[in-house]
Structure 1
């Protein structure tokens, strides 16, 4: 996002530019408590507050605009991309605000417009931090051919130190600022780890490219992740399964706490896994794979044309006019499949390709989500109804396909987080593999 576009977005949110959507009530007079609450709403959203001398009407209008954004009313995700099938419920922001004022609860209403999820509040702190960096002119770009490793010295090392200092990573007051010493290596390795890179403490091409991303782009990505949080339910189920396609990880929650975390292989760039909410309704043991027509047409049948024994050798048969792969050690679905209701036809499943889970970049599937530890997850889901443990193992060993309906269907959220935050407001930025951050930031800048 360009600097002038960033400032335009901030100005619009603060009510300093753009068309007026609603006017403050005629003769509006706010109490000191109401003014304090309305001003405080900006801080919770990660924005600097309006000036202290902002009039009551201007403050009202600025908060009404802020509320539209914070309540997820500024855009409809599926209208931008049909794969973004998660949205905040529609709300009549102006009417809510007027009613809250009339009933003497404007302060409480203003305090509730931003999501209160810890991850969202951490993103808000990061937005404040990175906006302050942008206001100071951003960070200096490093030379395109700069390569550094511990033991090096010179102006390039000092430039790297200044760049890390901009985000609060460089050690303070080194005896030799121009020397790539052990503390600087540790600082660089920490920055790399936070940003999803190999934390070798060496300045190579990949790290240099990430360091040279302008702060305005970082702000745009923070904005995009905050917007996706606004699409989430304000009260998430305490028991749920979350799949994060940005970080390629998953987590099962019980009573609001993670009881099982695992890696995931989401959709590749050409087959992104959608953002949506659903429920797991069954666990399928020893599942067959009904091959989607596109995969059969574009991948399997051309391969079979080159290798006539390929289909039979890998357990494929023709049934009902389509290809199906029988259960077994070569099955693309592995030993377990997790069924769910989805308009996209995607689901979670095992895979025989275990090595791929060790890769840093795991966006490799056709859109479904391959699970690193499917037997553990299946056991956790089936145990409450007496179908886990030894019974599940026995059912698997029998080799026959068995679909076990879940008595208590598991709430599922497939989300996409690409910015990870530290308690002090520093942020780490994963690759924008699908290009969704850039696209969403552009849409937000158009508001």
Structure 2
């Protein structure tokens, strides 16, 4: 019996300990799961914080010491949006702005309205005056500022009125910034401008305005070309306000040094206003000073620099100043679409100028003439990366040239192909063109055509590739005489370069294998050689008919593709 009870006791004890062990294991498991879940929660919280960085206060502007002691009630924003029918995109901008500053007031502090308000108001007035844009109600802003200034007279504004002024100023700022620095809302691809527009950060701009008391220290989200052309817009509007340019009429076809004419009095007044003539002269005599002034004017307008008052020069002189102001405004719109900062080293072709510019360390170091596409085969506006230089290139003829130009000639005489070193391919095999009945083809030809390298190759001896969807590149040409023309829109879309050897030497200057001697050695042959460019070089193909050059001179050019006309209908929509 004693043994039995001992057995029973031991069994119960064992069961007890097993039970306790089981309870302990469950407690341990439960505790472990709780800790694990807590860890995940912390990690998730961290991720959420990382994801919400976009609405955290900007520590470079908003430190632990608040910018303003006045704090807004965030719930009031919803009422404001409802009352003023605020668009969703604008709501997003405003909400993000106030979240980032922990709902501190932007335009008020404990002393009343801040200097930031006056900086913004001056910007708005300048924009409205410069661009004749009344779409943003400056009178409303003016009245808001006047109401806010009542605080200076010991009149405490109701909190509801302060909220209204605060939010209206902020919403008007974002509307103004979009118009002033972002440009029109229309997709620029519809305007044949294929350089992507970069989204600009107006939050940062407003942060800067609010945190500074000096307008001159502000960095606006526009490039240097925009800033200099804006100054010229103001100059031209001041000239218009004072009566405009004097008219210049004469019965003579042209006037040159030594001659006299009554029209020269007004001509000298005109050129003195534009800065082309350096000293005042009220005589009717055409002297050397006037010749120099006319050459300066002709240079700025892309005319033949003859120093003679001729028909082409008179036409530019007598263009109404209103049209010039609109031309400047059109190009300011285009400049809004460009990056705030260009790369330090790049190539730039301005199509209406017929010029290629090389920029190094942000400064132009050389320029040369180019031939661009004619109206029917316009050169596209885009940005590429120059990656390859080809010496002694083959030329693969585009189908449009084959159908419109080559096919009629080979129908007349098939020897046209051999005389011009053109090969015909069927798939990957060269065929004898004399075995083909060319008369059967009209709009399509089932063959490929290629011109062999040589001095008469249509691409000349060098081409520069920057891969793109428009099949456009820079290249040499055997037709050198076209570079003497003033209007050089003759190509099928590609860009012919006046000095391709100099350009190749510059592009390959850091490649020790390709000095000018080696380049010239290869060019003496007809063997194609492809050279990879590392690093690639940005190439901008732009369309500007008005700009300020690096010498500070205001330039104008003809609207050769009528792009200005199309953009004007968008900018000056109020005239519709």
- CA separation in 1, counterparts of 2:388 and 2:551? 41
Question: Which residue is 2:554 aligned to?
Answer: 427
Aligned residue for 1:280, secondary structure, equals: strand
Aligned residue for 2:555, secondary structure, equals: strand
* CA RMSD in angstroms, aligned pairs only: 3.6
Question: Which residue is 2:238 aligned to?
Answer: 132
C-alpha displacement at 1:307, in angstroms? 4.1
Question: Which residue is 2:383 aligned to?
Answer: 277
Aligned residue for 2:469, secondary structure, equals: coil
Alignment of 1:361-376 (within 5 A): 361-376=487-502
C-alpha displacement at 1:227, in angstroms? 2.0
- CA separation in 1, counterparts of 2:372 and 2:172? 40
Q: Residues 107 and 313 (structure 1 numbering): CA distance in 2 closer, same or farther, change over 3 Å?
A: same
Question: Which residue is 2:195 aligned to?
Answer: 86
Bigger mean CA offset, 300-309 vs 430-439? 300-309
Question: Which residue is 2:476 aligned to?
Answer: 350
Question: Which residue is 1:158 aligned to?
Answer: 265
Q: Residues 77 and 261 (structure 1 numbering): CA distance in 2 closer, same or farther, change over 3 Å?
A: farther
Q: Residues 424 and 63 (structure 1 numbering): CA distance in 2 closer, same or farther, change over 3 Å?
A: farther
Aligned residue for 1:210, secondary structure, equals: helix
C-alpha displacement at 1:259, in angstroms? 4.3
Q: Residues 385 and 41 (structure 1 numbering): CA distance in 2 closer, same or farther, change over 3 Å?
A: farther
1:74 and 2:157 aligned: no
1:299 and 2:405 aligned: yes
Question: Which residue is 1:3 aligned to?
Answer: none
- CA separation in 1, counterparts of 2:214 and 2:121? 7
Aligned residue for 1:139, secondary structure, equals: coil
Aligned residue for 1:355, secondary structure, equals: helix
Count, aligned residues: 424
C-alpha displacement at 1:287, in angstroms? 1.1
Q: Is the 8 A contact 1:41 1:111 kept in 2?
A: no
Question: Which residue is 2:504 aligned to?
Answer: 378
Q: Residues 20 and 369 (structure 1 numbering): CA distance in 2 closer, same or farther, change over 3 Å?
A: farther
Question: Which residue is 2:519 aligned to?
Answer: 392
C-alpha displacement at 1:313, in angstroms? 0.3
C-alpha displacement at 1:347, in angstroms? 0.9
Aligned residue for 2:357, secondary structure, equals: strand
- CA separation in 1, counterparts of 2:268 and 2:215? 45
Question: Which residue is 2:394 aligned to?
Answer: 288
- CA separation in 2, counterparts of 1:110 and 1:445? 32
Q: Residues 110 and 67 (structure 1 numbering): CA distance in 2 closer, same or farther, change over 3 Å?
A: farther
C-alpha displacement at 1:380, in angstroms? 2.5
Aligned residue for 1:283, secondary structure, equals: strand
Question: Which residue is 1:221 aligned to?
Answer: 327
Aligned residue for 1:277, secondary structure, equals: strand
C-alpha displacement at 1:179, in angstroms? 3.7
- CA separation in 1, counterparts of 2:549 and 2:522? 44
Out of 274, 278, 284, the residue aligned to residue 167 of structure 1 is 274
Aligned residue for 1:206, secondary structure, equals: helix
**TM-score, normalising length from structure 2?**
0.65
For residues 85-127 of structure 1, what are the alpha-carbon distances to aligned partners after superposition, in whole Å with 9 as ceiling and x for unaligned?
014223475x6667667x847978993334242x322211110
Bigger mean CA offset, 147-156 vs 346-355? 147-156
Q: Residues 393 and 123 (structure 1 numbering): CA distance in 2 closer, same or farther, change over 3 Å?
A: same
Q: Which has the higher contact order (CA 8 A, sep 6+)?
A: 1
Out of 414, 418, 426, the residue aligned to residue 545 of structure 2 is 418
- CA separation in 2, counterparts of 1:130 and 1:63? 27
Q: Residues 259 and 143 (structure 1 numbering): CA distance in 2 closer, same or farther, change over 3 Å?
A: closer
1:407 and 2:516 aligned: no
Question: Which residue is 1:12 aligned to?
Answer: none
Q: Is the 8 A contact 2:374 2:491 kept in 1?
A: yes
Answer with 1 or 2: which has the greater Rg.
Answer: 2
- CA separation in 2, counterparts of 1:177 and 1:59? 55
**TM-score, normalising length from structure 1?**
0.82
Q: Residues 226 and 46 (structure 1 numbering): CA distance in 2 closer, same or farther, change over 3 Å?
A: farther
Q: Residues 405 and 295 (structure 1 numbering): CA distance in 2 closer, same or farther, change over 3 Å?
A: same
Q: Residues 20 and 442 (structure 1 numbering): CA distance in 2 closer, same or farther, change over 3 Å?
A: farther
Question: Which residue is 2:218 aligned to?
Answer: 111
For residues 356-381 of structure 1, what are the alpha-carbon distances to aligned partners after superposition, in whole Å with 9 as ceiling and x for unaligned?
22322212111111112222222232
- CA separation in 2, counterparts of 1:430 and 1:48? 21
For residues 12-68 of structure 1, what are the alpha-carbon distances to aligned partners after superposition, in whole Å with 9 as ceiling and x for unaligned?
xxxxxxx99769999954411452365257769993997996644687666544421
Q: Residues 59 and 446 (structure 1 numbering): CA distance in 2 closer, same or farther, change over 3 Å?
A: farther
1:31 and 2:114 aligned: yes
